[in-house]
Amino acid sequence: KDKVYYVPSSNYSKVQTYIMAARKDWMDNLGITKAPETLDEFYDMLKKFTYDDPDGNGEDDTYGIHGGTWMGFNYVPAAYGIQPNSYYLVDGKIVYTSTTEEYKELLKTLNKWFKEKLIDPEFVTDDRDVQRKKWAEGRFGVLVDHPWWFAKSTSGNLTDMLAQANPNAEVIYFEAFEGPDGKSGGIQSYPNLHADGFCFGRNTSDEKVERIMAIMESFAVDWDWYVECYFGEKGKHYNLDKDGKIELIPEMNTPEIHAEEGLSGYFAESPLDLDDYKKFTAIADLPPYQIAEKNKMSYTGVAFPVSGVNEAEKTKGTDITTIAQEFYYNAITGNVDIDAEWDNYIKRLNEAGLQEVLAEFERIAIK
């Protein structure tokens, strides 16, 4: 009573990395016969996507990659062993990744690419909707997102979005490439409670809690019931394909229908793994998930378990993130000299309270 309780949950999509997708038709047009396996090969592909007229329209109107939204450049920082603006436990010590030498080298790489116009210059200000619109329009050749958003069974998916704008477009999903020291990975948030699960408000009665938990338990133990509540009625909301997989009826697979009829994950929450997913997913939707399964995790955020709340991070974290983000964008776009401004940048972070945050993480980290 008088407390908010949060019940964590997870599923296959939460234990897989975000991936990179590239325009395969562009690769074919340019004679690129395989996906990049190293950072250097990725760089070469971005250059060709930018300068060699990959769409064949005779115009200088394409970029290699976008790089906006919280997912950033995904495999690229992972090739240096980090994700920006994160806290890692390294050799028994808490480290803020945006102060490391690896991070400095990452910024120099991205600044070089930006100068060469391989990165869409509007990545700084574009939101996710604008980024996706540009993807559909063929403005850049590599996109970062989660496998779930590439699956055709997802309402508003990126594959259909591109196909509707260009029926001849093809996409290839590829594994994380290796960096200078052989490191690689795909971005994913370290497991946490802020998004994965559901809450009981402080005024929720015991009776309601018990009833809701019983409903949630029923989804986990009764597969047919879960399918009915998540996907709807067979013949109305979905059919089965030749392989016995659930095939959603497009006009019924919309956020509006889901909300109106009480379907999808907001109403039917259940912990699923990839084997469960395969029961209701068309074979054509599996490739992006299979790519994600092969990637190592490159965590973002607080990437270690803790035994309590970091009060210093609660009060000082926003200022630290603001300073780090400003330097990130200014460094990439060439508005600051990375080496010349580095010491002052570190000083500003410390003045904002970074050392206090690190000290508190040292105290509460479960090592």
Q: How far apart are CA 231 and CA 280, in angstroms?
A: 10
Whether 55 and 74 map to the same domain: the answer is yes
pLDDT at 140: 98
Residue 280 has pLDDT above 80, yes or no: no
Residue 220 has pLDDT above 80, yes or no: yes
Top pLDDT among 268 and 132 is at: 132
Q: Using pLDDT thresholds of 50, 70 and 90, give the confidence band for residue 186.
A: very high
Mean pLDDT of 10-15: 75
Helices H / strands E in the chain, number of each: 15, 12
Say what the pLDDT of residue 195 is: 57
Does the residue 129 lie in any domain? Answer: yes
3-state SS string for 23-81:
EHHHHHHHCCCCCCCEHHHHHHHHHHHHHCCCCCCCCCCCEEECCCCCCCCCHHHHCCC
Which of 215, 248, 273 terminates a domain? The answer is 273
Q: 136 and 75: one domain?
A: yes
According to DSSP H, which parts of 232-310 are helical?
Answer: 255-261, 274-279, 287-294
Query: Would the pLDDT of 244 be above 90?
Result: no
- In this prediction, what percent of the chain has a pLDDT beyond 90? 72
* Least confident range of 36-45, 92-101, 148-157, 333-342: 148-157
Distance (Å, whole) CA 96 – CA 86: 6
Rounded mean pLDDT, 227-250: 88
Residue 285 lies in a domain: no
Residue 250 within a domain: yes
Give yes or no for residue 123 having a pLDDT over 80: yes
Clarify whether residues 104 and 243 are in a common domain.
Answer: no
**pLDDT value, residue 330:** 98
Q: Determine the pLDDT at residue 192.
A: 65
Residue 337 belongs to a domain = yes
Domain final residue, candidates 189, 224, 251: 189
Q: Are residues 136 and 177 in the same domain?
A: yes
pLDDT at 193: 56
**In the chain, how long is the greatest CA-to-CA distance?**
67
What gap in Å lies between CA 142 and CA 135, rounded to an integer?
Answer: 8
Give the range with max mean pLDDT: 188-192, 234-238, 260-264.
234-238
Position 152 pLDDT exceeds 60: yes
Query: What is the average per-residue pLDDT within 221-244?
Result: 90
> Is 34 in the same domain as 48?
yes
Q: Which domain holds residue 325?
A: 311-364
CA distance 180 to 278: 36
What is the DSSP secondary-structure string of 172-220?
Answer: EEEPPPB-TTS---EEEEPS-SSSSEEEE-TT--HHHHHHHHHHHHHHH
Residues 21 and 166 in one domain: yes
Residue 287 inside a domain? The answer is: no
Q: Is 44 exposed, middle or buried (0-12, 13-18, 19+ CB in 10 A)?
A: middle
Q: Say whether both 96 and 199 belong to one domain.
A: no
Same domain for 176 and 135?
Answer: yes
**What's the pLDDT at 64?**
98
pLDDT of residue 217: 92
Who wins on pLDDT, 255 or 327? 327
Q: How confident is the model at residue 242 (pLDDT cuts 50, 70, 90)?
A: confident
172 & 219 share domain: no
* Confidence category of residue 2, pLDDT binned at 50, 70, 90: confident
Is the same domain home to 254 and 165?
no
Average of per-residue pLDDT values in the chain: 92
3-state secondary structure of 85: coil
User: 208-243 as b/e, with b when 16 or more CB fall inside 10 Å?
Assistant: eeeeeeeebeebeeeeeebbbbbbbeeeebbeeeee
Tell me how far apart the terminal alpha carbons of the chain are, to the nearest angstrom: 33
- pLDDT, tens digit, 9 for 90 and up, residues 34-62: 999 999 999 999 999 999 999 999 999 99
Task: DSSP letter for 8, please.
Answer: E
Of 141, 159, 189, at which residue does a domain stop?
189
Would residue 138 count as lying in a domain? yes
The predicted pLDDT at position 194 comes to 55
Nearest in space to 18 (alpha carbons), one of 60, 106, 77: 77
Strand partners of residue 171 = 23
What is the domain-level CATH number for residue 69? 3.40.190.10
When pLDDT is averaged across residues 349-362 and rounded to a whole number, the result is 98
**So what's the pLDDT on residue 279?**
79
Co-location of 98 and 212 in the same domain: no
Assess whether 249 and 347 both reside in one domain. no
Confidence category of residue 247, pLDDT binned at 50, 70, 90 = confident
On the question of pLDDT at 361 being above 70, the answer is: yes
- What is the domain count for the chain? 3
